[in-house]
Structure 1
């Protein structure tokens, strides 16, 4: 690879990082925003964006797939913890700090998942359930793996204009939720069902 070619490759990689960051911000504000708004926010030409992404559907899919991969990475890293509760807590904190669910929940149903995404989703669920099973003896008897999804969505819903303060508040309420999972009195009402967790992914909107 020549110096010129390598330089272009580095620039393309930088552009992609900028585009994805801009897309995240734009679509968190308005999931119906046009792809041109992403190019404007990223300060790149629309042609540069289209060279990498065929359209909005592909860009949305890429954003959510990146979040799914981050979820898997956090679960795999946490799984190496020898202490069961520390492993589960490390996983939950890592996912919340990576802000995975803000985007995936917001954009659910707005694009068509690929088979690769579906396979990664299965893998992500397997890892999360495995971490849950490790700490099940320390949890309330009524707790189920689906509670993990709801807890992560609750934390993602905490958002104020100050990003640093948002992160602090999410950690605060995650601590409250984790403490609530530990063995104690019975939980009220039935736990969430899988259809209740997955309903938003059924039809693109």
Structure 2
């Protein structure tokens, strides 16, 4: 039993490292992300990866499931805020930290469990947007899809990615501060305004059809 616990703890550490590495590699390589690069970034052998996941698809499916749980949790926490604006800010900043899984669109077969988790996440997020609209803190012409697309855009930071590739640890904290400023500027753009947004509001099909 004593020998089992360290092995289990090691497996859990490897799992967390693999999932974090997969997110980081996806942010840079997108659909071209390889299992080898994910394993190397996580600091685990390719054999360890395949002992935990039978294929890259299974790894990515698990990654989507975890992200959906996280998005549901941050939406529900946002709804729990007394101030609807604070709740919306909590969601956006937390979701940006989770990162976008858009590069996986069209690459991963949607399982029943993924669909169920997605429905729960969508419901909580829609309630958060409705609460912000009803309180008048979110501009009336901003839709839920607008906010999701904003999160997707803010989830990628070319500056931070470039500095990480260059090994410039001395500049990373300043780059993260700069990213936080950009996020704050973008959030201010969600506040009510007399200037209408251009074009027609995006529909759910624009956001979700790429996963088909």
Which TM bucket (shorter chain)? 0.7 to 0.9
Cα shift at 1:85: 1.4
Q: Residues 187 and 32 of structure 1: is their aligned pair in 2 closer, same or farther, counting only changes over 3 Å?
A: closer
Query: TM-score if structure 2 supplies the norm length?
Result: 0.83
Equivalents in 2 of 1:93, 1:22: separation in Å? Answer: 20
Cα shift at 1:127: 1.1
Cα shift at 1:165: 4.5
Residue matched to 1:158: 157
Matched, 1:29 2:28: yes
Residue matched to 2:12: 13
Matched, 1:189 2:188: no
Residue matched to 1:43: 43
Number of residues of Structure 1 aligned to a counterpart in Structure 2: 198
Q: What SS does the aligned partner of 1:113 have?
A: coil
Q: CA RMSD in A?
A: 2.0
Equivalents in 2 of 1:42, 1:188: separation in Å? Answer: 42
Kindly provide the CA deviation profile for residues 146-187 of structure 1, in whole angstroms up to 9, marking residues without a partner as x: 111121122124331245455434432332232222222122
Q: What SS does the aligned partner of 1:192 have?
A: coil
Contact 2:27 2:156 in 1 (8 A): no
Q: What SS does the aligned partner of 2:198 have?
A: coil
Q: Residues 8 and 172 of structure 1: is their aligned pair in 2 closer, same or farther, counting only changes over 3 Å?
A: same
Range moving further from structure 2, 67-76 or 165-174: 165-174
Which ranges of structure 2 fall in alignment gaps of 5 or more residues? 164-171
Equivalents in 1 of 2:153, 2:38: separation in Å? Answer: 27
Q: Residues 88 and 41 of structure 1: is their aligned pair in 2 closer, same or farther, counting only changes over 3 Å?
A: closer
Equivalents in 1 of 2:122, 2:151: separation in Å? Answer: 13
Q: Residues 158 and 56 of structure 1: is their aligned pair in 2 closer, same or farther, counting only changes over 3 Å?
A: same
Cα shift at 1:44: 2.7
Q: What SS does the aligned partner of 1:189 have?
A: coil
Which ranges of structure 1 fall in alignment gaps of 5 or more residues? none
Contact 2:71 2:121 in 1 (8 A): yes
